[in-house]
Amino acid sequence: MVTPIHAIMHSTAVKKNADRNMLASHVGLSEEVFSKVLSDALVTERLVEIEGRYLLTPSGQMIVHSEYSRFYAHIRTDQTFVDAYKKFEYINTDLKLLITQWQTVELADKLISNDHSDADYDNQIIDKIGNLHERYQPILEIMTTLLPRLSFYQDKLMEALEKAEDGEVQWVSDARLESYHTIWFEMHEDLLRVLGRVREE
């Protein structure tokens, strides 16, 4: 069973520069337990707080990395989970392409930054992300059944997608928000750490 302090360190590793509320939401511990364990992690110098944001210290990074194989051995050997993850990677490739299309437009045979002045173009990409989300939902449901805390991503992705579909286009990929792309990137990082994989550049 994952310990509370590992859960907090893992969340810090995945979310990177998260504030207290973001960490608490991701970890899903009671407020009392979260506060105590977060304080302990700071005292033991596994985490450091800088201007309200939390980071792993070098020793914290070593500790959390060394614990994954112990806490997630059952997931790494569960073929159903591994097969679902492989399907996720195919969809991840499609999402990366869509985000590239979201961030750039073609003009005179050159790609330039998308200033989002063309609502029709943006809506087409958002529709494609919505279709991709529908493809991904059954895969996430399989993984969530085996690793329930992944439901955090299920909720956040839907929230971001609905806001984007309602015209708040910043919720597609703005790194300052828990946008669709931001949450997807964090979910990918989470899965890589759990399974002991590395991100393909």
Residue 113 belongs to what domain range? 74-195
Determine contact, residues 161/133, Cβ cutoff 8 Å.
Answer: yes
The mean pLDDT value for 15-21 works out to 92
Look up the CATH number of the domain holding residue 13.
1.10.10.10
Q: Within this chain, do residues 145 and 47 fall inside the same structural domain, yes or no?
A: no
- Residues contacting residue 36 through CB under 8 Å, at least 6 positions apart: none
pLDDT at 100: 94
In one-letter notation, the amino acid at residue 70 is R
The verdict on residue 201 lying in a domain is no
Q: Within this chain, do residues 49 and 99 fall inside the same structural domain, yes or no?
A: no
> Which of 64-68, 77-81, 115-119, 120-124 is predicted least confidently?
115-119
Q: Kindly state the tokens that stand for 41.
A: 């992690």
Determine contact, residues 193/68, Cβ cutoff 8 Å.
Answer: yes
User: Per residue in 171-194, is it b (16+ CB within 10 Å) or e — as a string?
Assistant: bbbeeebbbbbbbbbbbbebbbbb
Domain count, the chain: 2
Confidence of residue 201 (pLDDT cuts 50, 70, 90): low
Higher pLDDT, 200 or 97: 97
pLDDT tens string 100-113: 999 998 877 788 99
d(CA 60, CA 37): 14
Burial class (CB in 10 A: 0-12, 13-18, 19+), 74: exposed
The mean pLDDT value for 126-143 works out to 96
Q: Which of 6, 108, 96 is nearest to 60 (CA)?
A: 6
The mean pLDDT value for 161-171 works out to 97
The mean pLDDT value for 58-82 works out to 97
Tell me the percentage of the chain whose pLDDT exceeds 70: 100
Q: Within this chain, do residues 61 and 96 fall inside the same structural domain, yes or no?
A: no
pLDDT at 169: 95
- Residues contacting residue 5 through CB under 8 Å, at least 6 positions apart: 37, 40, 41, 46
pLDDT at 14: 96
Q: Within this chain, do residues 27 and 95 fall inside the same structural domain, yes or no?
A: no
Given a cut of 90, whether residue 158 has pLDDT beyond it is: yes
pLDDT at 27: 94
Query: pTM for this one?
Result: 0.93
- Give the end of a domain, one of 50, 71, 92: 71
Given a cut of 80, whether residue 151 has pLDDT beyond it is: yes
Q: What is the mean pLDDT of the chain?
A: 95
Q: Within this chain, do residues 10 and 59 fall inside the same structural domain, yes or no?
A: yes
Higher pLDDT, 106 or 162: 162
Confidence of residue 52 (pLDDT cuts 50, 70, 90): very high
